[in-house]
Amino acid sequence: MSAKVVVVGSLNMDLVTRASRLPRGGETLIGQSFATVCGGKGANQAVAAARLGAQVSMVGCVGTDAYGQVLRQALLDEGIDCRAVSAVEGTSGVALIVVDDNSQNAIVIVAGANGALTPAVLGCFDAALQEADVIICQLEIPDATVGHALKRGRELGKTVILNPAPASRPLPQEWYASIDYLIPNESEAAALSGLPVDSLQTAQIAATRLIDMGAGKVIITLGAQGSLFADGKGFEHFPAPSVKALDTTAAGDTFVGGFAAALVAGMSEAQAIRFGQVAAALSVTRAGAQPSIPTLADVQAFKTP
């Protein structure tokens, strides 16, 4: 059997509006467009890993509403194993997203069915974790479930990736010992480390703190500045390919899924980071979450403009 990426995480229907700028508190803006787009950090990472060449299984929950069927079918259409995607009574997760003319976004998520992915439900799908080579988690499902998945991944000897998104506070200390690759963005690295992260130098200091807390290796994604890799022995900065951004939604997810797909394909860490960065760069040139994620052929054909 070929190497496998298992994603334990969220599926959301993204309700996306475009407006010239993000609204201020109490303000009503006239938007330019509206679309419903399949998203959710977990599902996006699963789609990225699948489009970029990996065999993928998803563990998650959708609602019994119409969105739930669409979200599940979208993953099936990518060839993702959805035997561990449960339909639970109620509404699916949703994300309200505004994207402005500078390609920046603001997102509010409502967990819905994602909140039903409890440790007990995950326990029913332990076979999926056992079959994994790489397990990826994010933070749009209950913390207790993330903790369980990380711990179980470590017990089973799998490569464990945590993308701590969204994060606004430190992680439970006991999680760190189970994490092989911690992949936060700048604001998440700041929230986790308690240190400001606004430059390469401050990212190095925060990454060192996160490794001291117990993470195996840390990759801080820095948007247009690329990413910083730290393994406790040193640092490496990977500049980002330069592209014209249209919509940054799911860029981080594309990086994480692409990095995992590259690792299971046998690439080195440095190659996997560069591969993930090209995939993420391509994703920001397109609108939406899952529709923006490139294929392996897209990444292989990419040439720096």
Binding site listing: 12-14, 40-44, 140, 185, 221-226, 247, 249, 252-253, 283, 286, 288, 292
The answer to whether residue 9 forms part of the interface with ligand RIB (CB under 6 A) is no
Beta-carbon contacts of residue 183 (< 8 Å; ≥ 6 apart): 161, 162, 163, 164, 218, 219, 220, 221, 252, 255, 256, 259
The nearest distance, CB 12 to ligand RIB, in angstroms, is: 3
Does residue 112 contact residue 92 with C-beta atoms inside 8 Å? Answer: yes
The answer to whether residue 87 forms part of the interface with ligand RIB (CB under 6 A) is no
Quickly list DSSP for 184-207: -BHHHHHHHHTS---SHHHHHHHH
Near ligand RIB by CB under 6 A: residue from 4, 5, 6, 40: 40
Catalytic residue from among 81, 100, 180, 253: 253
Q: Which phi and psi angles does 207 have, rounded to 5°?
A: -60, -40
Near ligand RIB by CB under 6 A: residue from 56, 75, 80, 95: 95
The answer to whether residue 249 forms part of the interface with ligand RIB (CB under 6 A) is yes
The nearest distance, CB 7 to ligand RIB, in angstroms, is: 13
Q: Which residues pair with 15 in a beta bridge?
A: 36, 96
231 is catalytic: no
Distance CA 175, CA 150 (A): 7
Nearest residue to the partner ligand RIB, using Cβ = 39
Does residue 300 contact residue 274 with C-beta atoms inside 8 Å? Answer: no
- State the catalytic residues: 253
Interface with ligand RIB (CB under 6 A): 12, 14, 39-41, 44, 95, 107, 109, 140, 249-250, 252-253, 289
